[in-house]
Chains A and B, each alone.
Chain A
Amino acid sequence: MKKILDTGNAACALAVKAARVDFVAAYPITPQTSVVEKLAGYIAEGKMNAKYLPVESEHSAMSAVAAAAAAGARVFTATSSQGLLYMHEILHYAAGGRLSLVMANVNRAVCAPWCLYVDHQDAVSQRDTGWIQLFAASTQEIYDSIILAYKVTEKIHIPVIVNYDGFLLSHSMMPFETVDQDIIDEFLPPFEPAWRLHPQWGGTFGNVTPAENYAPFRHSLAADIRKAGEVIEKIAREFEKLTGHWHGGLFDAYRTEDAEFFLLSMGSMASEMELAVDILRDKGIPAASIRLRVFRPFPAEELSRLLPDGARLLVFDRNYAFGTEGGVLLAESKAALFNRKDDIKVVGRAVGLGGEDLPADFLAEKAREMMEVLK
């Protein structure tokens, strides 16, 4: 184990190298660029035994890694914002094809207006593509999540996006501990897919199907994603045993003891939210932070279990679910708690769009506004 100080993008690239990825295809976009620059550098210098395919677009990047994954390679790509949107069509292909694939999405607002800074609209717009989506809140968590994502995707054949906030995590430097290669190799043995494209086999992935074949595929994908939360939690425990690194299971909860108000958020905002909770607690308000680490599958039952009778849930969305009353997490939370018989209440706000800065005192103030609404 070695402690180093570097950016989130550097942590991501180091984890991809440590995972012994075979194939990278990517197209640069701010703020993802330095991840793929670093990987191209490792490969060119012979520090990483992989093929790097420079492509002319994100649509091609995703097509190339999906094809390489179907051939049995361990693959990686990274993108942001418009790049992720441009991949959208192939995201469905990759999940429907039950391919093992890991992608980093460095969260950035989407156009228009044109904006380089963080929000989660890019990620939540891929909600129904059939991918698992994780959200990190520190450099260490980026590093660990990439490695964990390979273990998850290769176990359950569902692709994984590791999300982390543009600039606030991608370009900010924080100390993190790399894991020794022999430990990673033990955790992540070489990828052996159950099926792979091969000239001698002559099969295909994702061929034309009538409803009687198509529907069972989709039902089983839906059922397997629902079960993925349990798998993620178990694998995170396994990783903790080997490394001591632990960031929470599906949620990372803070000061939940005797709490009445639960502040739900994800990404870097959720780290700052702990400071907002401290501010509220100092004023005698029984607040807690719940940081969502796994956005897809949405851990509805676990969320309900975390919230005691009569709890007040304050949802901070860094995105909009247009046409609803707020963001995606608000809608998901309400659906998750619909069957509760107690007088639990939920309210939400969209904040931090396009990189609007979210210092703790601002978050605490927003929380107090929401508490007023619930009175």
Chain B
Amino acid sequence: MLEIRIHGRGGQGVVTLAELVAKTALKSGWEVQTMPFFGVERRGAAVKAAVRLDSRPIRARSLSYRPDMLVLMHENLLDTGIKDGISDDAEIVANASRPLPFNKIQWLVDASAIAIKNNLVSSGEPFINVAMSGAVCRALEIPFSHLEKTISEQWDGKKALANIEAAREAYEAVRRIEGGLCK
């Protein structure tokens, strides 16, 4: 089983990101499950959600304690207990422009800039979750065409096109760095 834990803040679309990744993984032949952690539901509060992927039906019904992949919506979450249960081998996917001070394998993407470029902004805040779905799918080696299908099922018309564009840019732009070296 592969467990992905996503950390963000209320309003950043963490639950939708989990849904996009799970739906896309399902299309790629995985058994999947999303497991949102519901705490206090308000804008700005630290929130998290998990996605489980497996080759057989998933029987777990608990929260995620030892994820294999950590997804970070912003660097400013570093002091909110995100590293709990994270082994040194866990891969990090982050909306960040510079390497984070832990773990060897990191996938970095400036999702905020991609969201703003594609006009995915509301009340001055960029919607970064769809761009992040591009980065996560790339890290999971899921073909982009499956993510494109998921997004076009999730939204209609122009909204779908802008989101597909943002996801594609992030899928292509995400950098894999290992031990501080850019690859």
Which residues does A use to contact B, with CB under 8 Å? 5, 116-117, 137, 165, 167-169, 171-175, 268-269, 271-272, 274-275, 357-360
If the complex has contacts A167-B38, A171-B38, A175-B31, are A272 and B26 also in contact, measured as CB distance less than 8 A? no
Which residue from chain B places its CB closest to the CB of A137 in the assembled complex? Answer: B61
Of the candidates A5, A116, A169, the one whose C-beta lies within 8 Å of that of B61 is A169
* Number of chain B residues whose Cβ lies closer than 8 Å to a Cβ of chain A: 19
Rounded to whole angstroms, the CA-CA distance of A49 and B35 in the bound complex is: 33
Chosen A-B contacts, 27 in total, with CB atoms closer than 8 Å, are A5-B19, A5-B23, A116-B38, A117-B38, A137-B61, A165-B61, A167-B36, A169-B61, A171-B36, A171-B38, A172-B33, A172-B34, A173-B22, A173-B33, A174-B32, A175-B26, A175-B31, A175-B32, A268-B61, A269-B61, A271-B59, A275-B60, A357-B62, A357-B63, A358-B62, A359-B62, A359-B63
Please tell me if B77 contacts chain A, counting CB pairs below 8 Å. Answer: no
A167-B36, A172-B35 known, 9 other contacts, Cβ within 8 Å: A116-B38, A137-B61, A171-B38, A172-B33, A174-B32, A271-B59, A358-B61, A359-B60, A359-B62
Binary interface profile of B, 122-153, with partner A (CB < 8 Å = 1, else 0)? 00000000000000000000000000000000
Chain A contacts for B100, CB-based, 8 A: none
Please tell me if the beta carbons of B59 and A174 are within 8 angstroms of each other in the complex: no
Where chain B touches its partner, the secondary structure class is mixed
Please tell me if B182 contacts chain A, counting CB pairs below 8 Å. Answer: no
If the complex has contacts A173-B34, A175-B31, are A274 and B63 also in contact, measured as CB distance less than 8 A? no
Which residues does B use to contact A, with CB under 8 Å? 18-19, 22-23, 26, 31-36, 38, 58-63, 65
Of the candidates A117, A171, A272, the one whose C-beta lies within 8 Å of that of B60 is A272
Of the candidates A5, A171, A274, A357, the one whose C-beta lies within 8 Å of that of B59 is A274
Chain B contacts for A175, CB-based, 8 A: 26, 31-32
Chain A contacts for B65, CB-based, 8 A: 359
Please tell me if the beta carbons of B36 and A272 are within 8 angstroms of each other in the complex: no
Chain A contacts for B31, CB-based, 8 A: 175
Q: How far is the CB of B53 from chain A (nearest CB, A)?
A: 12
User: Top 4 A-B pairs ranked by shortest CB distance?
Assistant: A268-B61, A359-B62, A173-B34, A272-B61
